[in-house]
Amino acid sequence: MKSHRFLLLLPVALSLLLANRPSVPAQEQGQTAEPPREIISKLAARRSAVVALVERVRGAVVNIHSERTVQAAPPAEQFGVTPSQSRINGMGTGIVIDPRGYIVTNHHVVEDVNVIRVKLNDGVAQNALVVARSHEADLALLKIEPSRPLSVMPLGTAQDLMVGETVVAIGNPYGYEHSVSVGIVSVIKRDVSLNKDLSYKQLIQTDASINPGNSGGPLLNVNGELIGVNVAIRAGAQGIGFAIPVDQMIRVVGDMLRTRRRQSIYDGVVCRDLIEQTAEGAVRNVVVERVETGSPGATAGLRKGDVLVQAGDVHVACSFDLERALLDRRQGEHVPVLVRRQNAEQRLDLVLQSSARSRPGTGDVVWRKLGLRLATVDGELVSRVNRQLHGGLEVTAVDTDGAAGRAGIRRGDILVGLHQWETLTLDNVVYVLSHPDLVSFNPLSFHIVRGGQIRRGWIQQVD
């Protein structure tokens, strides 16, 4: 009975409370009130540099989920049984380097996978393709097709890193998306051997928490600038993680973009990154190293020593910014270029050519016997893939019905060897094709660099 009496009295009690409650200020009845100043000051005190940088860059960090199919061998006593298949899920992190959806991650994150799914900061997910890769550098370039321009990661440098300075890692550890961890730089230029097949040179060591799934994600300084790409952890250890320096990533990805871009258009400009130390820190510049005679760059008026400031609508701060500006362009397009020359800025007009026309004087012998147009490349691009190589020739055009085309050589490949000789110049190729013992070479072996890897093949019936 007591409980029933309580239930009956409850509505009466509520009505009395409502009748006697204090009046509610207008802003609590639907109007917005300004928060007290003391609350604002407390929030401002908590808003550290780490909070600000995470808000600024997290849109340029993506989570990667992959799927690979593996075959399980049947038991020894059941040799006639078809191997069963199982799916293994993987995870990693990526860094947006271009608003059109180009993403950098580690090669081992996407190696031998069947499906790559990229999830953006806003939760939108879509499939990605690997457009270039470097096994040696453990870097890969992915491409998605976003419905809107993506945020791009600001680039710093690892050349002025200080042991003990604060760093921040963002990633997808164990699938926990966009996780943030903070630590310090423990060591600079650490060589790491994880096993007999996998070793790294001059990595950044940090004690920021890095776990499986962080691979391919950013390591940032307190200014929110990318200083490294997280790559590895020490199994069984705590507080020991490693990152590829951003300067190395810029070189490798620049090569990837250049190879992809030169499959269609040609500019004839060779640039290098220049980092200058100032009182305010390191400043990046891109300097024209060489302009090939008769090339679109020469026609536009570019000169050795020019500092590139802008190409199209892309501000140029590193070498792959120029590649981004020219990527996906077409023959005949006009690209406005802003350069700084002798402390004065000049505007130039770069008109792109088809890469198939980039070497109109390429040896007739090479075209007739192989069906290839070839162009020299910077030897450093090749030596980064394999230190024993000294250079090569980029394939700028292929006759699909020619001997090389039938052998699978594609535009954008770098020819580094024929038979037992390196191919550093056109004369090297002509030497092989004109050799008195050429008939005995058939099929003629070749070596090319494609996607950061050396591949071998054979050309049939070269005469």
215 given a catalytic annotation: yes
Which residues lie closer than 8 Å to 267 by C-beta, 6 or more apart?
295, 296, 297, 326, 350, 352, 353
The three-state secondary structure class of 97 is strand
Exposure string (b/e) for 278-310, b if CB count within 10 Å is 16 or more?
Answer: eeeebebbbbbeebbeebbbeebbbeeebbbbb
Q: How far is CA 414 from the centre of its chain?
A: 20
d(CA 208, CA 216): 15
Catalytic residue, chosen from 108, 134, 247, 413, is 108
Catalytic residue, chosen from 215, 295, 319, 355, is 215
Count CA within 13 A, CB hemisphere, residue 183.
22
Q: Are 401 and 395 in contact (CB under 8 A)?
A: no
Please state, as a whole number, how many other Cβ atoms lie within 10 Å of the Cβ of residue 163: 10
d(CA 375, CA 358): 8
Q: In 311-383, which ranges are continuous DSSP H helix?
A: 319-326, 364-370, 379-383
Catalytic residue, chosen from 98, 138, 273, 321, is 138
48 given a catalytic annotation: no
d(CA 397, CA 373): 5
| Strand pairing class (281-291; 139-143) | unpaired
| Helix 319-326 with 246-261: angle, nearest 10 deg | 30
Residues comprising the chain, all counted: 463
108 given a catalytic annotation: yes
Catalytic residues: 108, 138, 215
